[in-house]
Amino acid sequence: MERKWKERYSQKFRRRAVARMNACDNIVRLSRELGLSRTLLYKWRCRLEPPDAQVEGTVSTQNSRESRLRREVNKLKRLLADKTLEVDFFRSASQKVEARRQQSDIFGEKASTTKFEMPLQGRMSIERMCQSAQVSRAGFYRYLNCRAPEEEDMTVRSAIQEIALERVRHYGYRRVTAELRRRGMMVNHKRVARMMRTDNLLTIQNRELRQVTGRDRELEIYLNLASRMNLRGPNQLWIADITYIRLKAEFVYLAVVLDAFSRKVVGWSLDRSLQARLPTSALEKAIMSRQPPPGLVHHSDQGVQYRCAGYMQALRDHRMVASISRPGYPYDNASCESFMKTLKREEIYARDYRDLEHLLESVEGFIENYYNRCRLHSALGYCPPEEFENESEGRNGDARFGAATMRVFKTLTGSQN
C-alpha cells in the first residue's frame, strides 16, 4: 500500500498528470479518472510549469504555450461575459428610469414593489450589482429598507383611494384587494384592511332590521326546487324578493328578480304600493329582457304577492315552474337577500333622496351600470355578473350550457323494527 501511494505521488506521476492536464479539454473528467482533486492538479502544474520558467524540450514548450493561451482565452471569455451582464443590467435600469420619467403616474405592475424591482438584477447577485454600481452592500440595503417600502405604501394607498373614489360604493377590503390584484398589484388583504382603516374607508355599518312575523299560511304552497338544482347556465333558476326603502316622508318598495347562475339582476320594479303589480312588473321586465325558455324555475319566499292568483297565472302563461321556500327558512333565497343587503349598504344608506324619482334614478344607475357590469362578486370569483356570463359562454360555447340537473333524496334501506 505504501509503495502504491509513493508511485501515485511520485515526480514522474505528477509530470504525467500535468501533461495530460495540458492536453485535455475537460479538467473535471480528468480529475475523476485520476482520482485527484482539481486543486491538487493545478498546484502540480504551477510547481512543475512556472509561467516565466523556460521548459526544455519542444513538446513541453508547445504544451506550456498552448495551456497559457488557453488560460488567457478563458479569462477573456469570463471577462466578456461579466461585462455583457453588466451592460444588460444598466441598459434595463436606464430603460426603467426613462419609462418612469415619461409616465407621470405609477399603475399596476409599474408599482415600486420589491417583487417588481428585483427582476432587474437578472442573473447578477446583490454583491455583483453593488460592485458594478460602485456602492456598498450595506448602503444598498439601507436604501432598500428605508425608501422602497415608503414608495410602495404610497403607491398602494393611492390605488386604494382611487378605487374608493372611482366606485363610490364603499368596497370592503376583500373586494379592494381583488381589484388591486386585477390591476397587477400583489398585496395582502390584511394590509389593505389596515390601510383602509387608517384612511377611514371602513365606515359603513349594517343596520339591524326588524323581523317580520305572523305570516299567512292559508294559501297554497309549492315545492321547494331551488335547493336541489345544479345550475349549468343562465335562465334556469330565477330568484325573486321584495324589500322596503324608507324615504323622508314615506316608504317605497323594491321588487327584484335575479338569475341564480350569475347573480345578475334581470328585472326590477319600484313602487309606493306592495300590491301584486309590483313583483309582476319586475317579472315582466325580466321576461322582456331575457326571453327565457320554457321550464325555468321561479323561486321566492312565502310572500302573499308571489302566491296570489295573478302572479301564479303570469308564471303559467310563460311556462315557468313555481318554487317557494319553507316557512322561516330564507337560505334558499340567500342570493336575493345578499343583493338587497348590498344595495342598501352601498347605495341606499350612503345617500339622501329627495323623492321617489330621485331614488328611481339612483337605483337604476346602481343596478344597470354598476352592479351588473362593474361590481366584483365574491361568489363568482370576484367577477362582475355580466363578465361571468360572458366568460362562461366562452368556455362552454353556447349561452345555454346544457340543462340543469336535480338532486333527489337517497332512500335509506336497512332493517326496520
DSSP letter at 380 equals: G
Closest CA to 245 of 171, 331, 356: 356
Q: Is residue 374 part of a domain?
A: yes
Q: Is residue 94 part of a domain?
A: no
- Mark whether 238 and 336 lie in a shared domain: yes
Cα distances (angstroms) measured from residue 49 to each of 16, 54, 57, 365: 12, 9, 13, 88
Residue type, 190: K
Residue at which a domain ends, from 182, 198, 214: 198
Can you tell me the distance from the alpha carbon of 380 to that of 262, in angstroms, rounded to the nearest whole number?
7
Residue at which a domain ends, from 160, 179, 198: 198
pLDDT at residue 407, rounded to an integer? 67
pTM of this prediction exceeds 0.75: no
Q: Is residue 31 part of a domain?
A: yes
- Mark whether 123 and 263 lie in a shared domain: no
Q: Is residue 173 part of a domain?
A: yes
Pairing relation of β-strands 251-259 and 264-271?
antiparallel
pLDDT at residue 65, rounded to an integer? 75
- Mark whether 256 and 368 lie in a shared domain: yes
Q: Is residue 348 part of a domain?
A: yes
* Degrees, nearest 5: CA angle 48-53-57: 75
- Mark whether 298 and 375 lie in a shared domain: yes
CATH code for the domain of 295 = 3.30.420.10
pLDDT digits (tens, 9 = 90+) for 52-91: 444 444 455 556 777 788 888 888 888 887 778 777 777 7
* CB 255 within 8 Å of CB 269: yes
Domain that holds residue 382: 226-406
Q: Is residue 90 part of a domain?
A: no
- Mark whether 190 and 235 lie in a shared domain: no
Contacts of 221 (CB under 8 A, 6+ apart): 302, 307, 324
- Mark whether 360 and 289 lie in a shared domain: yes
Count up the domains in the chain and report the number. 3
Q: What percent of the chain has pLDDT over 70?
A: 74
pLDDT at residue 125, rounded to an integer? 72
Pairing relation of β-strands 251-259 and 237-246?
antiparallel
Q: Is residue 210 part of a domain?
A: no
- As beta bridge partners, residue 259 has 238, 264
- Mark whether 382 and 253 lie in a shared domain: yes
- Mark whether 46 and 129 lie in a shared domain: no
Positions in the chain short of pLDDT 50: 2, 4-6, 52-58, 104, 106-121, 215-217, 399, 411-417
- Mark whether 67 and 129 lie in a shared domain: no
Q: Three-state SS for 242?
A: strand
- Count the residues in the chain: 417
- Mark whether 189 and 279 lie in a shared domain: no
Cα distances (angstroms) measured from residue 363 to each of 11, 392, 401: 97, 27, 31
* Degrees, nearest 5: CA angle 383-389-391: 75
Q: Is residue 43 part of a domain?
A: yes
Q: Which three cell numbers stand for residue 57?
A: 524540450
- Mark whether 127 and 33 lie in a shared domain: no
pLDDT at residue 173, rounded to an integer? 85
Q: Which three cell numbers stand for residue 354?
A: 329627495
Residue at which a domain ends, from 55, 77, 99: 77
- Mark whether 237 and 364 lie in a shared domain: yes
